[in-house]
């Protein structure tokens, strides 16, 4: 509860029914624009995988997956944390061409999430992935993709404002690109979260690059699994959200590890035993294509575009009793 923020004199701009209509509008519009801008095709994806496949994403390395047994199949499975690795295999299996890719609806349960305005144990994302070439495995490719995603977000917000005039368009398409080291150099006395707030308060829309490795201070800006993003070619898309008076992450994305980056990052993370897993063996032997991809939070995007104060206003999940009571008192209607 201490991490939950309640805006002063909060007033919901939409009724519950209009909220549901607006959620559908946002999801349909953004999904179409994302697919068009990045040349993506929608595919079906798994809700759970076998742990021995090495396909599940371990996020920061401490989150516990939700698992259960499937007696008829004689195996244990885990609900996915994300589809970062699965998507790369799917691109090969479905024979996608360079500069094209896939997107899918990813649903997950993150049992160890700390609940607040932005975080829920239920996670819904558009997960996307596309094939790149050695020549396009560059920072500029990453930046150009970010511009296309922001363009899709802005177009969606404009469409929403046309249907619901009380929802004003506020996102900036002027993107500031900088690295986590540049951010630490700029704000050495602030925590990573405070740095993000400071830079987004000033620049509104920021793509923060190179997340996962150690900074000059000896600390990480944030954790990243060592076996999907290349820590030198990834980043988070952040915006300034006036209603909560803070930076909000809309997407985490990046160019994925090649064999060299995988070897290097597994060693840095002390996870070299993963080399024996099927996914990692395929990657190290050059069987998988070079790719880039990311996840874009569906509820997170709806919350921001509908200008809600709590993610529970756009998704049905589980919350602490005292949080439910406090939200009721502040005029925040949880679904």
Active site residues: 57, 110, 125, 236, 249, 252
The phi, psi pair for 249, rounded to 5°, reads -85, 125
CB 184 within 8 A of CB 172: no
In three-state secondary structure terms, 301 is: helix
Provide the edge-to-edge strand list for the sheet that holds 48-49.
48-49, 75-79, 67-70
CB 26 within 8 A of CB 302: yes
Which candidate, 303, 306, 304, 29, places its Cα nearest to that of 166?
A: 306
CA separation for the pair 300, 317 (Å, rounded): 13
| Alpha-helical regions (H) of 164-233 | 180-186, 192-203
CA separation for the pair 172, 244 (Å, rounded): 17
CA separation for the pair 176, 186 (Å, rounded): 14
Question: What's the start-to-end Cα distance of the chain, in Å?
Answer: 18
| Alpha-helical regions (H) of 71-191 | 84-93, 139-163, 180-186
CA separation for the pair 236, 215 (Å, rounded): 16
C-alpha radius of gyration, the chain, whole number? 20
Q: How far is the CA of 72 from the CAs of 42, 45, 54, 225, in angstroms?
A: 30, 21, 22, 32
CA separation for the pair 41, 117 (Å, rounded): 32
Q: How many CB atoms lie within 10 A of CB 172?
A: 14
CB 258 within 8 A of CB 228: no
């Amino acid at each position: 509860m201490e991490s939950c923020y309640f805006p002063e004199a909060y007033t919901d701009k939409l009724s519950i029914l209009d909220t549901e209509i607006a959620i559908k509008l946002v999801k349909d519009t953004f999904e179409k624009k994302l697919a068009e801008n990045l040349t993506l095709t929608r595919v079906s994806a798994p809700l759970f995988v076998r742990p021995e496949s090495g396909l599940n994403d371990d996020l920061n390395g401490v989150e516990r997956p939700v698992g259960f047994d499937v007696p008829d199949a004689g195996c244990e499975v885990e609900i996915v944390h994300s589809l970062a690795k699965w998507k790369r295999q799917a691109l090969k299996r479905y024979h996608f061409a360079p500069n094209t890719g896939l997107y899918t609806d990813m649903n997950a349960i993150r049992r160890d999430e700390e609940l607040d305005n932005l975080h829920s144990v239920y996670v819904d994302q558009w997960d996307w992935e596309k094939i790149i070439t050695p020549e396009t495995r560059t920072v500029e490719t990453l930046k150009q993709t970010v511009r296309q995603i922001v363009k899709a977000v802005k177009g969606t917000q404009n469409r929403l404002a046309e249907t619901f005039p009380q929802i004003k368009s506020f996102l900036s398409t002027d993107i500031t690109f900088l690295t986590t080291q540049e951010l630490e150099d700029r704000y050495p006395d602030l925590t990573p979260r405070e740095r993000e707030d400071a830079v987004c308060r000033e620049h509104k829309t920021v793509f923060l690059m190179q997340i996962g490795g150690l900074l000059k201070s000896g600390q990480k800006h944030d954790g990243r699994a060592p076996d999907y993003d290349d820590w030198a070619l990834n980043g988070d898309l952040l915006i300034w959200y006036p209603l909560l008076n803070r930076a909000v992450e809309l997407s985490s994305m990046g160019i994925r590890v090649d064999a060299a980056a995988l070897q290097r990052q597994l060693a840095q993370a002390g996870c070299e035993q993963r080399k024996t897993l099927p996914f990692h063996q395929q990657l190290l032997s050059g069987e998988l294509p070079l790719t880039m991809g990311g996840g874009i939070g569906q509820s997170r995007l709806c919350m921001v575009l509908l200008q809600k104060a709590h993610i529970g206003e756009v998704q049905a999940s589980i919350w602490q009793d005292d949080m439910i009571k406090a939200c009721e008192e502040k005029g925040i209607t949880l679904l």
